[in-house]
Amino acid sequence: MARALIIGCGAVATVAIKKCCTASEVFSEICIASRHRENCEKLAQELRPNTKTVITTAAVDADKAENVVKLIKEYKPDLVMNIALPYQDLAIMDACLECGVNYMDTANYEPENIDDPEWRKVYDKRCKEQGFSAYFDYSWQWAYKEKFEKAGLTALLGSGFDPGVSQAYCAYALKHQFDTIEEIDILDCNGGDHGYKFATNFNPEINLREVSAPGSYWDTDENGKGHWVEIPAMSIKRVYDFDQVGQKDMYLLHHEEIESLAQNIPGVKRIRFFMTFGQSYLDHMRCLEDVGMLSTQPIKFQGQEIVPIQFLKALLPDPASLGPRTVGKTNIGCIFKGTKDGKPKTYYLYNVCDHQECYKELGSQAIAYTTGVPAMCGAMMVLTGKWNKPGVHTVEEFDPDPFMEALTKYGLPWKENFNPVLVD
């Protein structure tokens, strides 16, 4: 019996909230909050007749910690589930610390304004020291480790699919299948078709920033020293035949869980992340980037200040509206290479999710589903005490077994392949 404050009511949060309402024995009370309370209330009204979970709603602008503090003090939750945007991570973590409440999110911090000189100073230093230039990284949230430890609070970072389940798969492989893991390839395939020439499956701003950034992967030199290798965006392409989806082009991207896995999987030598994209998506993205539409720098237009990528977001289909028209499947998982009992071993752990089945069950497409279910399951782990560890932690730092059991129960069962085709 616990009380969760859920910040965000978008595509991913909607799935998480609907799933919380099917587990009222844990989520006995939830408060849904975002800047537009009417959206939260609309969802609450849809859910109230069919759940024992007591649902309230609130308006909050989580860009400012003091607003979140006020709401936490009024609602007194056991956990704050941040399923808004990565821009709010630090403000919500500050509020949780001030009020003594556990925290979780689905994506690591990045600033809304990447031209902020204060942020830029830290960013430039990190690029030089670490060797990757993505706008997001864990350093900002890892800086809260000691504060959360001292306060006896748990902060669970990145409990979506990837990051999130991808790291639970790594922890599971290490616990049950390998003595050592040397190589990890995380493969994220969306074989879904929504019929639009161009649309993003989750928040367009966050999605386009991620995809248009240079790619990078973790590698180890001949002296055993791990380091980042950065490459131009979309410059490493592979073709892979995915179970239940078929052959797809995939591209190497920078992804946040590589950073934590490089620290937490002992002896790992190489970690790469690949995502599938169709040619139409890539052509549109390149063109939008070339004309400046992906810029986050405000410009003056007809006397008004607008941020190009936010304007673009207003033009693109709302990811939450893609559900009814998306057909096909996602296939997301990890291929491992390592040793067991002194012998070389390979192993592939993955989930296949059908867009239309997700839509029939919850009214959402599979990208929101595959992120929202792990968000709810991660919250459940914290609330039931299975994943309580004061400090700031990523998913692979916890016991994967109860989480993977919950994923299966709530809609994301896993599959195994003991002889997978490897990615060269």
Interaction between residue 84 and ligand NDP (CB under 6 A): yes
Residue list 209-268, contact with ligand NDP (CB under 6 A): none
Among 26, 41, 56, 63, interactor with ligand NDP by CB under 6 A = 63
Q: What is the largest CA-CA distance in the chain?
A: 69
5 vs 288 by CB, closer to ligand NDP:
5
Least distance in angstroms from the C-beta of 392 to ligand NDP: 16
**For ligand NDP, what does the binding mask look like between residues 102 and 121, x meaning CB under 6 A?**
----xx--------------
Residue list 290-319, contact with ligand NDP (CB under 6 A): 319
Among 12, 21, 71, 322, interactor with ligand NDP by CB under 6 A = 12
Among 29, 137, 162, 183, interactor with ligand NDP by CB under 6 A = 162
Least distance in angstroms from the C-beta of 383 to ligand NDP: 19
Interaction between residue 69 and ligand NDP (CB under 6 A): no
63 burial level (CB within 10 Å; 0-12, 13-18, 19+): middle
Least distance in angstroms from the C-beta of 25 to ligand NDP: 25
Q: What are the tokens at 390? A: 């004061």
Least distance in angstroms from the C-beta of 200 to ligand NDP: 9
Residues 23/26/29/32 CA torsion (nearest 10 deg): -60
Interaction between residue 400 and ligand NDP (CB under 6 A): no
Name the one range near ligand NDP by CB under 6 A: 70-78, 84-92, 353-361, 378-386.
84-92
Interaction between residue 22 and ligand NDP (CB under 6 A): no
Interaction between residue 61 and ligand NDP (CB under 6 A): yes
Peptide bond into 49 cis (omega under 30): no
Name the one range near ligand NDP by CB under 6 A: 155-163, 218-226, 286-294, 301-309.
155-163
Among 2, 19, 29, 39, interactor with ligand NDP by CB under 6 A = 39
Interaction between residue 351 and ligand NDP (CB under 6 A): no
Interaction between residue 353 and ligand NDP (CB under 6 A): no
Q: What residues make contact with ligand NDP under the rule CB under 6 A?
A: 7-13, 34-36, 39, 60-63, 83-86, 88, 106-107, 158, 160-164, 202-203, 206, 319-320, 371
